[in-house]
Structure formats: structure tokens, C-alpha cells
Amino acid sequence: MSRANPYIGDAQPIIRQLDETAINRIAAGEVVERPASAVKELIENALDAGATRISIDIADGGKTLIRVTDDGCGIAPGDLTLALSRHATSKIDGSDLLDIRSFGFRGEALPSLGAVGRQTITTPAARQDAAEIPVTGGVQTPVRPAALKAGTVVELRDLFHATPARLKFMRSDRAEVQAIGDAVRRLAMAEPGVGFVLRDVSGDGAPRITFRADAETGDLFAALRGRLERILGRDFCDNAVVVDAEREGLRLTGYAALPTYSRGAAVAQYLFVNGRPVRDRMLVGALRGAYADFLSRDRHPAAALFVDCDPQLVDVNVHPAKSEVRFRAPGVARGLIVSAVRHALAEAGHRASTTVSAATLGAMRPEQPPAGRVYQMDRPSGFARGVAYASQAPAFSEAAPGFEGMERPQARPSEPAAETPEQVSRPLGAARGQVHENYIIAQTETGMVIVDQHAAHERLVYERLKRQMAAQGVAAQALLIPEIVSLSPDDCAALLAVAPDLARLGLSIEPFGGGAVAVRETPAILGEVDAAAMVRDILDELADQDHSQSLQTRIDAILSRVACHGSVRSGRRMRPEEMDALLREMEATPHSGQCNHGRPTYVELRLADIERLFGRT
């Protein structure tokens, strides 16, 4: 049902030129979505000005106050009025919109903020007196002298007071504070050499620091690791692998977490392009694809990855918020992320995250020790233990019936059990036993390892099947009668463009005329399949992400199922040599630290942690 436009009557509609205030408020709706958007824009301006220290003060979730202070180059007093004009910027000259090397370049942030709030900019340029300019609802007042030695202070009060309707869509103060914190942390990751302080000055109490990150020093990876440890925590850095790869002018660096250090939601995925934090669907899909073989659908990877390239290879002028990008060769960018992350995870070998061990220790509930400190003797040597055990042996009485003529045993060191030091020194140690016919207990030099025999062997068999298929190819089965699938001309062209890739996976398609394709062969490992449904699934993926992994995913799922049924079952008693052979193969097989569903295959417990459970510290 259509509704009448109140601005259009029976007469011919008249085209009007909107005034500058209305234009700025409309633009502000794109640039300043919420307080976090304003904070992001102001921090980016500070970084472009060469700031090394940035301080952010907020009140009431940024609704009543946002103040960003930096030590950058400042703005000349004569340029303050021009800086508040739309599309006025010092970042570019407009001659080449593909050669953008700064965070900001559109010249919209400051006028947009001034249009929807009460904004004051205070700044001195080099060797000039400071000045400030207030702006309220888009209306400027004359520039006046101010007191400030260096840098810039941008203060924004009563955000959206000029557009009250927008205030109705604001979330709670707590939610807005969280969004601001996330924006600050993302920019802090992008610039490890810059110090950041975020303070909440709400109410009449003392300011509360909610985030602080001092400037990091060192090379690229050392500085980034220090910043990530401050933001994401030490657990992430301890359980992440270094990613460093390059392809066709694109370089990927950063850290990617082990699959066993996964999250229940995509809240720990940080992606950057030329230092700019982005939320790009293609990049997120590539990261998901890199972990597709290691995580179930309800788990999400954690990573902080940086794509750097010549600005000519990527277009950042896609959206006013500058959170989306377009690569000139998206396939290269996606392939780089997938291959580099998988290669880094493969080099990690059989590693599982340390958080698994921490959770295991946390689940243990030792008996509460008695009050007061219990002093323990140091661990005795093997010789001392032998003497002690011999002296504690039952005494034989010469007068006791049945023991006549028997010699009293002499106290001497007991013979140690047969050991294989070279196996104990291995990462997964030497098998010592099996409990509940499912868990292998192994001894290492520094503690013990508990292995889930079924999960571990399932991964080993799966990796073996994948290697065999990669070497021999995917066998195809010819259909007795080719299946004809009717498509639109665009879908038909998109599908035929990837036909050679599909043929390598056992799916053979040919044009049939009139926008239809003929499916002549399907992967034999899939058995009887609905070819039309499979083709449409592939097309859906191509439309959504410009690539398709659905066929490969189906084949991998079959291999995983075969590996599950062909692996050592729970409840089977294994011989010592079988257990040791399983441990050695795990050490030699990449990704053996997690099963096909992303769960850990083993838990490593340090002897010091075990002794702490028993109060032996």
C-alpha cells in the first residue's frame, strides 16, 4: 500500500537545494552512526597528525562527552574554519583517489560531528599561538585565542542534540562504552608504537581508566605481540602462531590462534588493510575458510591479521565509514589468507592450546590442605628412593615358621623399571598405561600427557586420507544419464568459469545451451547425490563470496566420516607398542593436536602443576 508524500501535492514537484546544515546532518548519519563512530574518526585524525600519545575521555557512553587529546602536529588557526567545511582535508589533493595512505581522506568527520553536537576544536600549529573554534548544530562561532602548548583537543558534547530522533536509537550507556572500547582497541592494534588511554569520566567521581596501552618498542612482530598481549591477553599470544607470507604484491602478517583456542562467536577476529581496521565480508570469509578443516560450524577462530599492499591495489573509498575495502584481485587476497594461515597452523605440528591444560587443572578439586604451611622434603634421588624402599620392606623373622634358613634381605637400591629415555624426551613422551580403554597416559620429561586415543587416531587417519586423495586425485563416477540443470545466463556463465576447478574435484559440467548446464560426472566418494542441489549450492557461494568451497567441504566431510569409522575405537585395549606408535605418529602429523571437530586430542599437565594440587609446593 502506497502512502502519499506530504511534500508533493497536485502541482508539479519543485526541486530544492538543501541548505548546508541539512546536508551536514544527512552526511553525519552515514559517518557518525553512534558515539563509537565519532571516537574512531577523531582517533584516526590524531594518527594522521603523527600523534604518539592519544587520550580519550568519555561520559555517559559518549552521549554527553567525547574528548580526544593528542600530541600531533595541530592545525593552523587560519585553517580552523576551513577544516569544518565539508570535503576539506589535508590528506589528499583529489588527483588520485586510489593512492590513499592515510586513515582519513573524505573531509567529512569534523563538519559531521559539528552538525549533530556541540563541538570545540582547540589547537596550536608549530610556532603559533593556540586557538579554538566552537560549533553548535553546524553553526560556527568566530575563532578565538586559547591556551594549549601542542597537539589538538577535540571536545564533543551532547552528541545528536541537533538530531533528537537519533537519540532514540542509542543503546544503553554500557553497550556504547563497550563499542567505544572495541573501536579504541582495534586502532591500538593498528598502531603498536602509539600510546592510548581511555577514561570514563561519568558522574562526579574520579576518572576511571578502562583501557591503557603504552607505546611498544621492538621489531614488527615483537611490538605487535606486546600490544596483542595487552589487548587480547597472554593466553592468545601463547596459543597463536606467527603468520608471515607474501603473494603478488600483497603481504600478510600477524598472529592466528590454534584451532583448540577457538571462540563461541566471531568476537576475536581483527583484520586490517594497510593498517586500517576493516570489517570486510570477503576477508572474514577467507579466515573462516582457512580454519574450515579444523573447526566445527559453532566455533570461530581468533586472529589478528594485517594485509599490506600498494594503495593502488585496494580501494578504500567504498563507504563513508571506511570499514569496507575492495581489492583489485580479491582472489589473490583470499588465497593468501587461506594458504598462509593453513601453512602456519601446519608448522605448529601437534600443538594444542595451553588453555586446555588450564581448564583440566581447574576442573580438579584437591582436598583442602590443613591450616598452616606443610613443609615437604625435596624430591629424593633414584638411589635414595631405592634405599628407602628396601629399608621399608617387611622384616623376615628367623624364628617365624616357614622362614628358617632364609637370609634377611640387604638394604640396597631397587632396580629401576625398564625405561626408554629417548621416548620420554619426546614432546608426547612414552606411554605408561591406558585407563578406561580410551585414554593413554604418557610420561614426559616435565610432566604427563593424557591422550584421547579415538580422537587422535581419527585425525591421523583423516590426514592420511587427504594426502592420498591429493596425490591420486578425486575419482569421478559418470552418470548414466547426464542431469540437466536450468540456470539463468549469468549463473551459467559464473558456474562455467569455475568448471576446471570443479573438474579437479570430480564434478564435470558442460554447457547445454539456453542457460542450462549438463552434469556428466560427480565425485565417486559422495555416492548418489542430488546434482542440481549441489550445483545451486555452489552458485550461492559464488554469489556470496566470489568462490566456492561447498564441494571440497562435502568431500572433506566424507573423508572425516570414513576416518571416524576407521580409527581406533573407544573401549579397545591397546598394547604398549601400539600406544607408543600412536604418540610418535601424532608428533609427525600436522594438526594432530585437535580432532576433526576442533576438540583437543591430548592434554599436557606439568609436574609442577600436579604437585601444586597436592600441596607439594
DSSP string, 12-72: PP---PPPHHHHHHHHHHHH-SSHHHHHHHHHHHHHHTT-SEEEEEEEGGGTSEEEEEE-S
Q: CATH classification of 220-348 is 3.40.50.150, yes or no?
A: no
| 66-68-70 Cα angle (round to 5) | 175
Residues, the chain, total? Answer: 617
Per-residue pLDDT tens over the stretch 323-341: 788 888 888 999 999 999 9
Q: Is pLDDT above 80 for 91?
A: no
C-alpha 413/C-alpha 293 separation (Å) is: 53
Cα torsion angle, 464, 468, 469, 475, sign: negative
pLDDT computed for residue 502 by the predictor: 82
C-alpha 42/C-alpha 56 separation (Å) is: 9
C-alpha 71/C-alpha 146 separation (Å) is: 16
| SS3 state of residue 325 | coil
**DSSP symbols for 135-185:** EETTEE---EE---SSSEEEEEESTTTT-HHHHTT---HHHHHHHHHHHHH
Looking at residue 600, the DSSP 8-state letter turns out to be: B
Lowest mean pLDDT among 28-42, 216-230, 399-413, 550-564: 399-413
Phi, psi at residue 483, to the nearest 5°?
-95, 125
Going by pLDDT thresholds of 50, 70 and 90, the confidence category of residue 16 is confident
The residue-averaged pLDDT of 7-22 equals 69
Highest average pLDDT, of 282-286, 292-296, 511-515, comes from 282-286
Q: At what angle do helices 220-232 and 173-190 cross, to 10 degrees?
A: 170
Q: Is pLDDT above 50 for 396?
A: no
C-alpha 458/C-alpha 223 separation (Å) is: 39
Using alpha carbons, select from 318, 310, 314, 291 the residue that is nearest to residue 302: 291
Q: Which residue did the predictor score with more confidence, 316 or 212?
A: 212
Q: Is pLDDT above 60 for 537?
A: yes
| SS3 state of residue 120 | strand
| SS3 state of residue 128 | coil
Which one-letter amino acid corresponds to residue 254?
Answer: G
Q: Do residues 169 and 37 touch, judged by C-beta distance below 8 A?
A: no
Using alpha carbons, select from 218, 190, 182 the residue that is nearest to residue 274: 190
pLDDT computed for residue 231 by the predictor: 94
Going by pLDDT thresholds of 50, 70 and 90, the confidence category of residue 380 is low
Going by pLDDT thresholds of 50, 70 and 90, the confidence category of residue 411 is very low
Lowest mean pLDDT among 101-110, 162-171, 313-322: 101-110
The residue-averaged pLDDT of 115-128 equals 83
Q: Is pLDDT above 60 for 401?
A: no
Q: At what angle do helices 109-116 and 20-31 cross, to 10 degrees?
A: 110
If one counts every other C-beta atom within 10 angstroms of the C-beta of residue 118, the result is: 18
**E runs forming strands in 390-446:** 430-435, 439-443
Q: Which residue did the predictor score with more confidence, 587 or 110?
A: 587
Going by pLDDT thresholds of 50, 70 and 90, the confidence category of residue 544 is low
Phi, psi at residue 315, to the nearest 5°?
-105, 115
Q: Do residues 261 and 268 touch, judged by C-beta distance below 8 A?
A: no
The grid cell for 445 is 620429561
Q: Do residues 18 and 28 touch, judged by C-beta distance below 8 A?
A: no
Beta strands 131-136 and 118-123 are antiparallel
The predicted model scores a pTM of 0.73
pLDDT computed for residue 350 by the predictor: 77
Q: Is pLDDT above 90 for 424?
A: no
Which one-letter amino acid corresponds to residue 397?
Answer: S
Q: Is pLDDT above 70 for 149?
A: yes
Question: Side-chain half-sphere of 227: how many Cα atoms within 13 Å?
Answer: 28
The residue-averaged pLDDT of 371-375 equals 48
pLDDT computed for residue 107 by the predictor: 65
Cα torsion angle, 567, 570, 572, 574, sign: positive
Going by pLDDT thresholds of 50, 70 and 90, the confidence category of residue 69 is very high
Q: Which residue did the predictor score with more confidence, 268 or 317?
A: 268
- The fraction of the chain above a pLDDT of 90, given in percent, is 21
Residue 448 β-bridge partners = 443, 605
**DSSP symbols for 468-511:** HHHHH---EEEEEEEEEEE--HHHHHHHHHTHHHHHHTT-EEEE
The residue-averaged pLDDT of 453-470 equals 83
The fold for domain 20-213 equals: Heat Shock Protein 90 (3.30.565)
Lowest mean pLDDT among 49-58, 61-70, 238-247, 366-375: 366-375
Residue 155 β-bridge partners = 67, 120
Using alpha carbons, select from 316, 51, 325, 365 the residue that is nearest to residue 197: 51
Architecture of domain 349-365+419-617: 2-Layer Sandwich (3.30)
pLDDT computed for residue 49 by the predictor: 87
Domain ranges within the chain, ordered by starting residue: 20-213, 220-348, 349-365+419-617
Question: Side-chain half-sphere of 445: how many Cα atoms within 13 Å?
Answer: 6
The grid cell for 322 is 571506511
Q: How many helices (H) and strands (E) does the chain have?
A: 20, 23
pLDDT computed for residue 399 by the predictor: 46
The grid cell for 143 is 575563532
Residue 238: its H or E element: helix 234-238
Highest average pLDDT, of 92-96, 251-255, 591-595, comes from 251-255
Q: Which residue did the predictor score with more confidence, 563 or 530?
A: 530
Q: Which residue did the predictor score with more confidence, 402 or 254?
A: 254
pLDDT computed for residue 23 by the predictor: 67
C-alpha 59/C-alpha 207 separation (Å) is: 10
**DSSP collapsed to 3 states, 575-591:** CHHHHHHHHHHHHHCCC
pLDDT computed for residue 405 by the predictor: 45
C-alpha dist (Å) from residue 141 to 82, 84, 136, 145? 13, 11, 8, 12
Average pLDDT, the chain: 80
C-alpha 210/C-alpha 113 separation (Å) is: 24
Q: Do residues 307 and 272 touch, judged by C-beta distance below 8 A?
A: yes
Q: Do residues 416 and 424 touch, judged by C-beta distance below 8 A?
A: no
Q: Which residue did the predictor score with more confidence, 136 or 412?
A: 136
The grid cell for 253 is 602478517
pLDDT computed for residue 403 by the predictor: 42
Going by pLDDT thresholds of 50, 70 and 90, the confidence category of residue 417 is very low
Q: Is pLDDT above 50 for 408?
A: no
